[in-house]
């Protein structure tokens, strides 16, 4: 009889937990990073422990007891650990469904991140319970701490228009994140995920020192940058048009004590921005070029980040098909990532001049829409014959990078864009494509991708063989290639570089992230962690400096010498 009563009690607990989870999953989630493991009862605050099996095997029960007792004994912990056989991942319950241990894939190839970031995100999405408060414990090496933390963050997107049974919206369109104001009703409907670490040092020992305030600040600001980026990308155009995007820029600028420069509508045409103006002139909300500038004393370099911000892409008069158009709200993913990364970089003490350039437009169909055969003069002064109005991103980026060179005198220019569907074919759905005039920075970018979890793969940079695809009989160039079978993603990037000039003496980096910008129907916040890592040595953050790319020689130079 006592056994039956116990079984009934456990069944009630599981049912109550599941019911609460279903209710709270519609609510906003706060992500908090703790310096060390806090004490909590898993029956009240569920816990998910994630790590590589070789790291989990290093743990002693005492090191996790604060998260497991009094529900889990050392014997149960050891038995559960012995049951883990990741293929590629595996999980085991330590106590009902409220204390779980999960093992990451055993191997990571040279083109993957050693943090196994994508597996972490999947495990967190599938196994957190979304109750009022719970914990995710990451067992990892210090070099993977940043990427592992970012992987957890990606599992909790902000934007939702789901309603409760009474039609009440649990989460507003512009769901607040740390630092934003919230009303009392929404504040009371937020659940908390505590992210904590057990850090393994290079010798395979458990570090006892807690995370520093500097590290916690870096993780906090990066979290906000990633979630802000994902929120903007997830929002439909009726809630995130050019006006709304500018409002988001202005709000962050105010926090950073900066004043954005905004060039809009007819002023774009008057000042020669024929690319941005031509793409956006048919939309009800006029296009814009917006610039944020962080210029600290003692700066040695000038870095410009240029983002494609097509808030919706119908394809223009070269209109997309009915199955190809849904999801085009994500075509502002590059500009969104630039905004999130710029915010976090400034908050982490960026030491050099940093400019964020947002090329914002809606590619619409209307009486004023650009026609195929029209010729536009871009900010570079070069003329472009339009042969495909759906190849619009390169037009706005060309104006942006040219402005970065001519007006801002940047010696490092990086543009980021959801530029080509061919990117997914060339480098897949997890790796963005990187195209650059610098082999050294190509190597750095690949390193940064592996360190951050925002993976990259190189594509061909060969303008002397590929730029002829844009030949025009009546203008300097066309905007779309003659042969769509000839390295489309590379050619699209070369169009942008042509307006900067192939003899540009500085560093130009192009990141096409059309596919990794989302996973399924949700945005990933791709690009923020990548940029913070790539330029980590330009910040005062010790965490970002520790994972920033080294100045090692590019692969081909080492190969030739050997």
Domains of the chain with CATH codes:
30-160+192-211 (3.40.50.10590), 236-547 (3.40.630.10)
Q: Is 356 helix (H, G, I), strand (E, B) or coil?
A: strand
Handedness of CA 256, 409, 511, 335 (dihedral sign): positive
Q: With bands split at pLDDT 50, 70 and 90, how would you rate the model's confidence at 27?
A: low
At a CB cut-off of 8 Å and minimum separation 6, what does 18 contact?
A: 97
Q: With bands split at pLDDT 50, 70 and 90, how would you rate the model's confidence at 550?
A: confident
30 has a pLDDT exceeding 90: yes
User: H-helix or E-strand containing 2?
Assistant: helix 2-24
At a CB cut-off of 8 Å and minimum separation 6, what does 53 contact?
A: 84, 86, 103, 104, 106
* Among the listed residues 416, 420, 395, 418, the one whose alpha carbon sits nearest the alpha carbon of residue 268: 395
Name the catalytic one among 351, 394, 450, 478: 394
Which residues face 433 on adjacent strands?
457, 512
Residue 189 pLDDT? 58
| pLDDT tens per residue, range 128-142 | 998 999 999 999 999
Residue 412 pLDDT? 98
Residue 9 pLDDT? 43
Mean pLDDT of the region 7-34: 56
Residue 169 pLDDT? 58
Contact 362, 264 (CB under 8 A): no
Q: With bands split at pLDDT 50, 70 and 90, how would you rate the model's confidence at 186?
A: very low
CA-CA distance, 227 to 153, in Å (whole number)?
A: 7
| pLDDT tens per residue, range 198-236 | 999 988 899 999 999 999 999 999 999 999 999 999 999
Tell me how far CA of residue 52 lies from CA of 138, 143, 168, in angstroms. Answer: 9, 14, 41
Pairing of strands 191-200, 375-377: unpaired
181 has a pLDDT exceeding 60: no
CA-CA distance, 21 to 417, in Å (whole number)?
A: 36
Mean pLDDT of the region 308-318: 98
* Among the listed residues 218, 125, 228, 133, the one whose alpha carbon sits nearest the alpha carbon of residue 177: 228
| pLDDT tens per residue, range 422-457 | 999 999 999 999 999 999 999 999 999 999 999 999
Using a 10 angstrom Cβ sphere, with 0-12 exposed, 13-18 middle and 19 or more buried, the burial of residue 559 is exposed
| Cα atoms found within 13 Å of the Cα of residue 315, Cβ hemisphere only | 14
CA-CA distance, 562 to 53, in Å (whole number)?
A: 37
Q: Give yes or no: 394 in active site.
A: yes
CA-CA distance, 407 to 288, in Å (whole number)?
A: 17
Tell me how far CA of residue 25 lies from CA of 45, 46, 135, in angstroms. Answer: 15, 15, 15
Q: With bands split at pLDDT 50, 70 and 90, how would you rate the model's confidence at 554?
A: low
Backbone torsion region of residue 229, taken as left when φ is above 0, otherwise alpha when ψ lies between -120 and 50, otherwise beta: alpha
Q: Tell me which residue has tokens 């650059």.
A: 436
At a CB cut-off of 8 Å and minimum separation 6, what does 368 contact?
A: 281, 282
CA-CA distance, 334 to 325, in Å (whole number)?
A: 18
CA-CA distance, 123 to 125, in Å (whole number)?
A: 6
| pLDDT tens per residue, range 348-366 | 999 999 999 999 999 999 9
DSSP 214: H
At a CB cut-off of 8 Å and minimum separation 6, what does 70 contact?
A: 41
What secondary structure does DSSP assign to 115-150, as a single string? T-HHHHHHHHHHH----SEEEEEEEEEGGGHHHHHH
Preceding amide of 137 cis, omega within 30 = no
Q: Give yes or no: 320 in active site.
A: yes
Contact 206, 63 (CB under 8 A): yes
Name the catalytic one among 32, 320, 382, 522: 320
Q: With bands split at pLDDT 50, 70 and 90, how would you rate the model's confidence at 179?
A: very low
Higher per-residue confidence, 292 vs 180:
292
What secondary structure does DSSP assign to 170-189, as a single string? SS-TT---TTS---HHHHHT
């Amino acid at each position: 009889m006592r056994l039956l009563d116990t079984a009934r009690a456990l069944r009630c607990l599981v049912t109550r937990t599941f019911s609460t989870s279903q209710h709270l999953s519609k609510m906003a989630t706060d992500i908090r990073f703790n310096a060390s493991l806090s004490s909590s009862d898993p029956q009240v605050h569920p816990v998910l422990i994630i790590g590589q099996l070789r790291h989990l095997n290093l743990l002693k029960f005492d090191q996790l007891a604060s998260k497991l007792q009094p529900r889990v004994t050392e014997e149960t912990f050891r038995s559960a650990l012995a049951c883990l056989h990741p293929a590629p991942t595996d999980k085991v319950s330590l106590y009902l469904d409220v204390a779980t241990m999960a093992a990451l894939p055993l191997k990571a190839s040279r083109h993957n991140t050693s943090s196994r970031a994508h597996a972490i995100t999947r495990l967190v999405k599938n196994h957190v319970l979304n109750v009022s408060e719970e914990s995710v414990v990451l067992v990892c090496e210090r070099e993977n701490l940043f990427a592992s933390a970012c992987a957890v963050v990606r599992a909790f997107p902000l934007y939702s228009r789901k309603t409760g049974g009474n039609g009440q919206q649990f989460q507003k369109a512009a769901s607040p994140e740390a630092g934003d104001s919230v009303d009392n009703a929404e504040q009371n409907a937020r659940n908390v995920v505590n992210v904590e670490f057990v850090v393994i040092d290079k010798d395979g020992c458990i570090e006892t020192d807690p995370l520093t305030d500097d590290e916690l600040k870096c993780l906090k600001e990066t979290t906000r940058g990633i979630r802000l980026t994902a929120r903007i990308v997830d929002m439909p155009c009726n809630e995130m048009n050019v006006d709304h995007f500018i409002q988001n820029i202005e709000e962050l600028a105010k926090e950073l004590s900066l004043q954005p420069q905004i060039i809009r509508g007819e002023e774009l045409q008057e000042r020669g921005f024929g690319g941005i103006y031509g793409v956006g002139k048919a939309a009800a909300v006029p296009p814009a070029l917006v610039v944020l500038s962080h210029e600290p004393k003692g700066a040695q370099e000038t870095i410009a980040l240029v983002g494609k911000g097509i808030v919706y892409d119908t394809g223009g008069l070269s209109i997309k098909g009915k199955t190809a158009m849904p999801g085009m709200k994500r075509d502002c993913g590059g500009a969104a990532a630039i905004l999130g990364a710029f915010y976090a970089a400034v908050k982490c003490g960026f030491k050099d001049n940093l400019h964020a350039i947002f090329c914002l437009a809606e590619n619409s169909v209307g009486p004023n829409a650009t026609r195929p055969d029209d010729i536009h003069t871009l900010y570079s002064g070069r003329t472009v014959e339009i042969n495909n109005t759906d190849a619009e991103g390169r037009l706005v980026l060309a104006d942006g990078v040219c402005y970065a060179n001519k007006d801002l005198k940047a010696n490092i220019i990086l543009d980021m864009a959801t530029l080509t569907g061919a990117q997914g074919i060339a480098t897949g759905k997890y790796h963005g494509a990187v195209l650059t005039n610098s082999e050294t920075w190509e190597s750095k970018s690949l390193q940064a991708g592996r360190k951050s979890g925002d993976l990259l793969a190189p594509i061909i940079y060969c303008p002397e063989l590929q730029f002829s695809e844009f030949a025009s009989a009546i203008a300097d160039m066309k905007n779309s290639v003659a042969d769509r079978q000839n390295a489309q993603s590379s050619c699209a990037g070369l169009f942008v570089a042509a307006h900067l000039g192939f003899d540009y003496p500085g560093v130009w980096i192009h990141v096409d992230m059309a596919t990794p910008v989302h996973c399924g129907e949700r945005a990933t916040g791709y690009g923020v962690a990548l940029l913070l890592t790539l330029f980590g040595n330009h910040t005062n953050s010790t965490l970002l400096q520790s994972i920033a790319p080294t100045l090692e020689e590019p692969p081909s130079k080492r190969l030739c010498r050997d």
